């Protein structure tokens, strides 16, 4: 059984409480607070990573949500708004509360997704955190995970973002690797099975989008964001990729997607060749 944790994005303790009550009614026993979203429309409203620029207000907010809610609360945080050193003050604040988990994405808001995560800061912050720490940032391939695990064997939890959108089989392969002590990277990959999985993943997401949006144009539009990650898996996909990005009618879109799966092989080589490198 998967443990699904809903996420809340707010800086208002009353609204947080309302959301928690609704979620509890659905049976959820843990919620996550988003202190990491770097989007301008979010940070301008002092939410997501924008809240990190106001540590004393954040402290008061946390004081209220931890005293007013009977639910486990975890945090997803960046290490500051502008300066990675802000992370130390933030950790002091977080350590006052019984977080069920602290997910650290060691970049500032200003860094968005660019450059390398600050692993040096992550090492220092994770060492002093009272809560169990989960690492997030640029674990895009099995090799990235292996390198991280070798450098931080004490970190038992990781969160994957873009890597798993591009390659939904990644988590299954990592689990298999750990169980069977396989070699990391490309040695044991079954590309035909991976392609099948990617195709099923695409079909399921697209079907759900069509149902939720009730309108095919919008569903196709949302699929294009996924393709900006998934296309990097395929060899020689530039031409068909362009057509997928241009398609607006569902028939046209599905025809190009079908062609891509038929004509383009998955890349068997490493992360650099897949374009999803640490510099992304
Ligand atoms: C398109 C997109 C949507 C995202 N939405 C969320 C979100 O709703 N909540 C959240 O905590 N993080 C969100 N993230 C951030 C990821 O969880 C993660 O922190 C980030 O991608 C860095 O990890 P990665 O290098 O493994 O991708 C999003 C990232 C992307 C690219």
Closest by alpha carbon to 72, among 104, 35, 97, 105? 97
Dihedral, 266, 271, 274, 277 alpha carbons, nearest 10: 160
Q: What is the pLDDT of residue 177?
A: 72
Contact 276, 162 (CB under 8 A): yes
Taking the C-alpha atoms of residue 253 and residue 110, their distance in angstroms, rounded to an integer, is 35
Taking the C-alpha atoms of residue 172 and residue 189, their distance in angstroms, rounded to an integer, is 11
Taking the C-alpha atoms of residue 152 and residue 120, their distance in angstroms, rounded to an integer, is 11
User: Structure pTM?
Assistant: 0.90
Q: What is the pLDDT along the chain (280 residues), one digit of tens a residue?
A: 688 999 999 999 999 999 999 999 999 999 999 999 999 999 999 999 999 999 999 999 999 999 999 999 999 999 999 999 999 999 999 999 999 999 999 999 999 999 999 999 999 999 999 999 999 999 998 999 999 999 999 999 999 999 999 888 899 889 887 766 555 555 567 889 889 999 999 999 999 999 999 989 999 999 999 999 999 889 999 999 999 999 989 999 999 999 999 999 998 765 444 444 433 3
Structure-token match 């798993």, residue found: 164
Structure-token match 């040695």, residue found: 187
Token pair of 127, please? 């060492």
Closest by alpha carbon to 95, among 77, 81, 111? 77
Q: Report which protein residue has its CA nearest ligand 1's atom 31.
A: 162
Question: Is the Cβ atom of 139 under 6 angstroms away from ligand 1?
Answer: yes
Q: Report which protein residue has its CA nearest ligand 1's atom 22.
A: 137
How close is the Cα of 168 to the center of ligand 1, in Å?
15
């Amino acid at each position: 059984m998967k443990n699904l944790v809903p996420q809340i994005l707010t800086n208002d303790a009353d609204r947080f409480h309302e959301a928690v009550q609704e979620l509890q009614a659905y049976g959820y026993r843990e919620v996550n607070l988003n202190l990491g979203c770097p989007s301008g429309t979010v940070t301008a409203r002092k939410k997501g990573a924008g809240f990190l620029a106001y540590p004393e207000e954040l402290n008061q907010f946390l004081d209220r949500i931890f005293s007013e809610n009977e639910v486990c609360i975890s945090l997803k945080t960046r290490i500051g708004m502008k300066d990675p050193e802000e992370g130390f003050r933030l950790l002091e604040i977080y350590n006052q509360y019984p977080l069920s988990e602290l997910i650290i994405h060691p970049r500032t808001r200003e860094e968005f997704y660019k450059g390398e995560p600050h692993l040096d800061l992550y090492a220092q912050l994770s060492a002093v955190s009272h809560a169990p720490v989960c690492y997030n940032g640029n674990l895009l391939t099995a090799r990235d995970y292996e390198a991280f695990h070798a450098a931080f064997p004490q970190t038992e939890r990781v969160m994957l973002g873009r890597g798993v959108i591009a390659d939904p089989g990644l988590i299954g392969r990592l689990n298999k690797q750990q169980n069977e002590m396989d070699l990391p990277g490309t040695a044991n990959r079954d590309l035909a099975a991976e392609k099948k999985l990617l195709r099923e993943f695409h079909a399921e997401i697209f079907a759900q989008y069509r149902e939720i949006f009730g309108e095919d144009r919008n569903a196709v539009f949302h699929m294009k964001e996924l393709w900006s990650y998934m296309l990097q898996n395929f060899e020689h996909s530039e031409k068909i990729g362009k057509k997928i990005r241009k398609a607006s009618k569902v028939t046209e879109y599905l025809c190009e997607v079908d062609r891509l799966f038929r004509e383009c092989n998955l890349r068997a080589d490493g992360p650099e060749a897949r374009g999803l490198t640490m510099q992304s």
